[in-house]
Amino acid sequence: MCPASLRPIDSSEFTAFMRAYQDMVFSTAVRLTANEAQAEDIAQEVFLRAYESFGELRASPAAGGWLKTVATNLTLNHLTRYRRRWRFFSEVFTGDAPEEQLESAAAVFDEIFAETDAEQRRALIEQALAALPDHQRVPLVLYHFEEMSYQDIAARLRVSLAKVKIDILRGRLALAGLLAQRGLDESLAGSRVRP
């Protein structure tokens, strides 16, 4: 029997493969870039590379992990030009956040979980993530969504470990602030959030 890696590529098979993973790939790119057009370009490149390696990927249980890794790497390469800005901001704004900010940020998330349904929560979080500045959003997404360690993030972004931790903490606080503001806006408007 012909090994999977040597069989000719069937377009319907690759299309099914793409449909199974395109949401995951697109999500990875759009959460990091906060730009749907750029994320679509990156997702296209990811699947073109997957097509070139489809002989090995088609039967591999690690195909999802491979796609996620390639999507993350391509997106970070695309965002490389922001690296100096990250370092600059992290050097200028140093120091710990006040404890009351941490407490109020946690309270915002508690409220989000308690008073919104899943659909509302999804939309609020996606909107708030997209509104974060790049130097906070990228390490935050890498840590909480891509489940990378602080050390891996620091190595990948070529910044110090301390800067990664500061940026992630400030990103959490900023995200909470944006969620609180959006929640307030929604309650003033008297409407429910639609995805």
Partner 1 sequence: MTDHDHPEDRRVRDERLERLLDRAAREQPSRRAPPTLEGRVLREIVRRSRSSPRQSGFTRWPLAVRAALVAGCCACAALVMLAADPLIVRWMEELRDAREALSAVGALVGRLVGAIPTDWLLGGLLATALLYALLFALLAVGCSMLGIAPERARSTPT
Residue 177, token pair as written in the block: 């602030």
Measured distance CA(24)–CA(64) in Å, rounded: 9
Measured distance CA(171)–CA(139) in Å, rounded: 8
Which amino acid, residue 97?
Answer: A
Taking CB under 8 A as the criterion, which residues in 140-169 touch partner 1?
140, 144-145, 169
Measured distance CA(28)–CA(65) in Å, rounded: 12
Taking CB under 8 A as the criterion, which residues in 54-93 touch partner 1?
none
Shorter beta-carbon distance to partner 1: residue 89 or 145 = 145
**Contact criterion met (CB below 8 Å) for 108 and 179:** yes
Shorter beta-carbon distance to partner 1: residue 1 or 194 = 194
Shorter beta-carbon distance to partner 1: residue 51 or 66 = 51
Taking CB under 8 A as the criterion, which residues in 165-194 touch partner 1?
169, 172, 175-176
Closest distance of CB 84 from partner 1, Å: 9
Measured distance CA(83)–CA(148) in Å, rounded: 18
Query: Which position among 10, 23, 115, 185 is part of the footprint of partner 1 (CB under 8 A)?
Result: 23
106 binds partner 1 (CB under 8 A): yes
Half-sphere exposure of 118 (CA within 13 A, CB side): 0
Sign of CA dihedral 174, 170, 144, 38: positive
Residue 189, token pair as written in the block: 């408007």
Query: Which position among 5, 113, 185, 192 is part of the footprint of partner 1 (CB under 8 A)?
Result: 113
The residue ranges that bind partner 1 (CB under 8 A) are 11, 14-15, 18-19, 22-27, 30-31, 36, 40, 43-44, 47-48, 51, 96, 98-99, 102-103, 105-106, 109-110, 112-113, 118, 121-122, 125-126, 140, 144-145, 169, 172, 175-176
